[in-house]
Structure 1
Amino acid sequence: MDETARATVGNALTGPANPSVVGGLNFAGLTDNTGSPPDTTGAIGTTRFVQLVNRRAGIFNRTTGALISSGTLNQLAGVASTVNSFDPQIIWDPTTNRFYYTMASIHSPLSDSRLSFGFSRTGSPLNVTTDWCHYQIRFGRRFPDYPKLGDSQFFLIIGVNSFDLVTDNFIASDLIGISKPVTGTTCPAASTFKVGRKLNLLNSSGSQVFTPVPANQIDTAATGYVVARNLSLPSNRLWFYSVARNSSTGFPIFGGPRGATVAAYASPPNATQPNFPGGVVAPTLDTLDARPTQAVQAIDPRLRTFSFWTQHTIANGSTGSAVRWYEINPVPATPVVQRQANIASPNVFYFNAAISPDRRVDGATRTFGNNFVIEYNVSSRAANVSPRIVAGSSVNGAALTFLLVRNGVGPYRDFTCTTASSVCRWGDYSGATPDPRPTLAGRGQVWGTNQFSGILNPPVNGVNWRTRIFNLAP
């Protein structure tokens, strides 16, 4: 089914089916005065919410929202303060009951790029340094940009877009599989991990694909799954790749491309926003290029499948951008698109989304998963909407209803977009993950994090994004 949900651009819709904030947990997240975009992401565990933005990491109490500890991404990665670390990713793994992270780390701008990765020693880290294990994979001049992190029963799975560190030319999209650590609170030697790489992912026609995104598996399975889009656009295909385990060697086995036919999509235009006071024209916001940005995989009891949930921002004709979301069964030889829909309105820009079902997996407790939450940004000059955060939810397959999570205080700008003709580097992704230990009965919960315009009439030389963390029941 392909349908368009006409989303609210003003206040939240009314009615009992709206997503609702749980326990008042809609609170300020991290900010940073040194970089843009924030690339906000986060994950919820049984006692902690961990949020990462470019340059910083924070650990929050999941019950109160209080900040327990914070530090730099370099501290989380265990690298020197002179290293350029960015594009962070964080997931919670219900199977091993710990958090995992990855990020790009440039040690030398012309010759030494690396992937930093690691994990919390326990499910309740108290700091971003000694409570984590830190590792690196060297790539040299082949720069692993835009790392996306997922997992399976046996592996961490990281998808990257590789560029030449010197020329900045795109080379190919690659996959990396890293075996998960053994149980315990010590940090295993780097030599104990089984690491494999699949370079230059292609579709079934032999053409390159772009931005491979592994799913964070909530119900664990021996095989992991990855989605990517065609490198060339427009397209009506998404491509799936599997990552299995060699039973003899323990190394990852990467499967070939399997295409899913979807409604056609194209790269979206940049988002408009209201003008500044006095009629000063505000710059547009980068909505990316129809790449997928995150994925969650879990059992959907309603459909009785191991569903793969993902989304991307696409063109909505010539007047705006839409968020397209999918629920896909990636297991068959030809992946089955179970649901797909657009969140769209004329002359409005929907972008930078994250989606998650409300599946609960906490030890032997496994329940929910019929419902989902999707959160995203909205902006529009025509509708006078400053960049804000909105969430939608669907219960038992019903149509989406919407909630205004955090209003923008005005149009946005920072040092990346100092003139009206420039394009602001808005965030490349946001986060949504299911709660392994929800406080409500009868329905699961989803935690999200995203950015919004947080300063009224901001200066052109600042960093003016702010982030929000929120717990929603669909």
Structure 2
Amino acid sequence: MNPAALAAAKRRADAAANGASSAIPRQAGPESAARKPSSAIFNSLNQPGLSAGDEGNGVTPPDTTGAIGPNFYMEFVNQFVGVFDRNTLARVNSLDLASFVGAPSGLTTTDVQIQWDPQSNRWIYALIGFQTGNNYVLFGWTKTADPTNLPGGWCRYGVGTGSSLNDYPKLGHDANFITIGSNVYSDTLPTYPFVTANMWAIPKPLAGDTTCSSPVSAWYFADATHLLHNADGSLAFTPVPANTADGSSTGYIVGAHDDTTAAQSKVMVWHFASGPTLVADGDISVGSFSVPPSVPQPGTTYLLDSLDGRLTQAVQLRDPSAGGIEALWTQHTVAGASGRAVVRWNEFVPSTLSVLQEGEIGSDTDHIFNAAISPSSGGSDAAVFYNRGSGSTLALIGAQTRQSSTPPGQMDAGEVVLGTSATFDQETLFQGNCTTAPCRWGDYSGASPDPSNAGVVWGSNQLAGPAFFGFAQWTTQNFAVSTGPVSVPDFSMSVTPASQTVGVGSGTSYTVSITPTGGFSGPVVLSVDGLPAGATGSFTPNPATGSSTLAVTTATTTPTGTYPLTVRGVNGTLSHSAAATLVVNPAPDFSLSAAPTSRSIGGSVSSTTYSITVTPINGFNSPVSL
């Protein structure tokens, strides 16, 4: 909020870290990594994402974030957008950010946000465009559930905010609104003084509207003459709307009290009611928190920026272990008791302004920072992703998880390492980074629940690569992590009836059933092997997701006999089969016989009768015209 106050707070935190003892224990911290973690990389999904190399000179920090949907994973960084196959994390499409949002010349786009909205079956995004005196809040959504057409498959909008720069926008949504929280600064002075925190409410597009032609309205709720306050009267800072992952009509917004001048112990809660109307619910009391220290790196005196104690993201979902109440998970990097940076996480019940649980991820040796947390779609388990680093450890990406049976406020034992930096971060040609100020890092990362697999959370975070002519060459990693034992998505097949009999030149059919397991939801391509000569088989539909009809037709030349068939189904690397039998008999026919075989008429005998017998052959059962 106040750059001078933040700089002073950072100096105090750095001094405390330099004088800290290394003997303070931490519950379930990365020092326990030697123990086998209960979490694991899901389905081998841990791959490099976007990088500074995609942009040429690498705008920093990357503001890495991502979200998982039914068929794709999307990653947004400053100046670039990527679409990835959810089955492999292979890149499907990418585009520079300015082209994606249709930014006019001179407008710089930054502070990206992306989410999957299961309620509207669309992807939604938000960011800002800044240019002195001509700033914008930019937002939009996909026309359908398919995000791959960049930018033709998206509806794109912007609201001009003049000299008000709505910095650090955070995106959320509920059943009615797309919500954006921001910090407003004035660009009328070179110091960019803080004005107020702000919130935006944008009604969702109409269901099924793929035209981008419907009118769009955007409401904002604070400005220089209408300041946004916390319940205790202090100025609000960095409001974070929740990514509402279920059908809740109320999506909450949370903001930690500003800790740049003094330690704080409150988180403010708001929500939007119909209208829209911004409702100030009140403060939640939490453990005391203060600005974290910067993070040292091996091989250099350059420090990494660990941010300032603000919340950076939130996910909202019903928690079955708490009676199905709507819960909100969030986190921030704060100063730990050891003097090192730690990640403090909470599960709130915003409707009652209460804390379900509060935990901390720390280390006896390293700083933990730049995190993101999300429950899985199960609602009572969660994963937290973060960076870990110190003067002896290059910044890495780590993950810890908890299950519904884990004691409150704790993560399960052990850490999953998802990626390691190639070298220390350095940058000397951009805004004084790494020289007069710490190297910019983050400013945030991403975590979101898999809509198809309970027990799986997806995320994106940052690593460092070698500098290039004074510019940082950051890289990113995209990944999926299971919170405990999870069934891998798969399917099985069956064919009914197991055997069919058909005459030469005729046809028959089978029903192929596809049964998904482990959250499998993809299409299965069907084929059949083993048909006799002259016979054909076709599936309706093909590909199929639930069941399909196999129609088999034989020719008049098809040899008779019993034929084992194999019905195969393929989805990517998954392949399964089911057996069936086809019996081909000679073509149905009949024979005629007359009895007696001979009669004589003449004289007084002018008529007689014969008994005609129709004898079916090969199952013939039709009427015969004589």
CA deviation profile, 1:194-227 (whole Å, cap 9, x unmatched)? 6343442211221102100000001122222100
Q: Give the whole-Å Cα distance in 1 for the aligned partners of 2:142 and 2:472.
A: 30
Q: Report what 2:135 is aligned to.
A: 113
Q: Report what 1:261 is aligned to.
A: 285
The structure carrying a bigger strand percent of its residues is: 1
Alignment RMSD (CA, Å): 1.9
Contact 2:465 2:472 in 1 (8 A): no
* CA deviation after TM superposition for structure 1 residue 24, in Å: 1.2
Q: Give the whole-Å Cα distance in 2 for the aligned partners of 1:192 and 1:327.
A: 34
* CA deviation after TM superposition for structure 1 residue 450, in Å: 0.2
- Letter in structure 1 aligned against 2:237: F
Where 1:302 maps in the other structure, the secondary structure is helix
Contact 1:311 1:353 in 2 (8 A): yes
Where 1:292 maps in the other structure, the secondary structure is coil
- Taking the TM superposition and a 5 Å limit, the aligned residue runs for 1:81-230 are 81-106=105-130, 108-109=131-132, 111-167=133-189, 168-189=192-213, 191-193=215-217, 195-199=219-223, 200-230=227-257
Q: Report what 1:374 is aligned to.
A: 384
Q: Give the whole-Å Cα distance in 2 for the aligned partners of 1:183 and 1:421.
A: 51
- Letter in structure 1 aligned against 2:356: Q
1:453 aligns with 2:464: yes
CA deviation profile, 1:127-177 (whole Å, cap 9, x unmatched)? 321011000111111110000000110000100000002220000101111
- Taking the TM superposition and a 5 Å limit, the aligned residue runs for 1:51-66 are 51-66=75-90
Larger radius of gyration: 2
1:313 aligns with 2:313: no
Go from structure 1 to structure 2 and tell me whether the alpha carbon gap of 1:391 and 1:322 turns closer, same or farther (over 3 Å shift): same
> For structure 1, which segment, 402-411 or 195-204, has the greater mean C-alpha deviation from structure 2 after superposition?
195-204
1:294 aligns with 2:313: yes
Give TM-score scaled by structure 2 length. 0.68
Q: Give the whole-Å Cα distance in 1 for the aligned partners of 2:330 and 2:359.
A: 11
Give structure 1 stretches of 5+ with no counterpart: 246-250, 276-280, 360-367
1:411 aligns with 2:435: no
Percentage identity across paired residues of the two chains:
33
- Taking the TM superposition and a 5 Å limit, the aligned residue runs for 1:269-418 are 269-275=293-299, 281-304=300-323, 305-317=325-337, 319-332=339-352, 335-359=353-377, 368-381=378-391, 384-398=392-406, 399-400=410-411, 401=413, 402-415=415-428, 416=430
Go from structure 1 to structure 2 and tell me whether the alpha carbon gap of 1:306 and 1:257 turns closer, same or farther (over 3 Å shift): closer
Q: Give the whole-Å Cα distance in 1 for the aligned partners of 2:460 and 2:83.
A: 13
- Taking the TM superposition and a 5 Å limit, the aligned residue runs for 1:2-81 are 4-8=26-30, 12-15=33-36, 17-32=37-52, 33-81=57-105
Where 2:471 maps in the other structure, the secondary structure is coil
Q: Give the whole-Å Cα distance in 2 for the aligned partners of 1:6 and 1:435.
A: 24
1:464 aligns with 2:493: no
* CA deviation after TM superposition for structure 1 residue 330, in Å: 0.2
Go from structure 1 to structure 2 and tell me whether the alpha carbon gap of 1:309 and 1:418 turns closer, same or farther (over 3 Å shift): closer
CA deviation profile, 1:205-256 (whole Å, cap 9, x unmatched)? 21102100000001122222100111343101111011111xxxxx311012
Where 2:237 maps in the other structure, the secondary structure is strand
Contact 1:282 1:420 in 2 (8 A): no
* CA deviation after TM superposition for structure 1 residue 9, in Å: 5.0
Q: Report what 1:473 is aligned to.
A: 482
Q: Give the whole-Å Cα distance in 1 for the aligned partners of 2:125 and 2:349.
A: 26
- Letter in structure 2 aligned against 1:385: T
Give TM-score scaled by structure 1 length. 0.89
Contact 1:103 1:117 in 2 (8 A): yes
Q: Give the whole-Å Cα distance in 2 for the aligned partners of 1:21 and 1:129.
A: 31
Contact 1:58 1:69 in 2 (8 A): yes
Contact 1:418 1:461 in 2 (8 A): no
Where 2:348 maps in the other structure, the secondary structure is strand
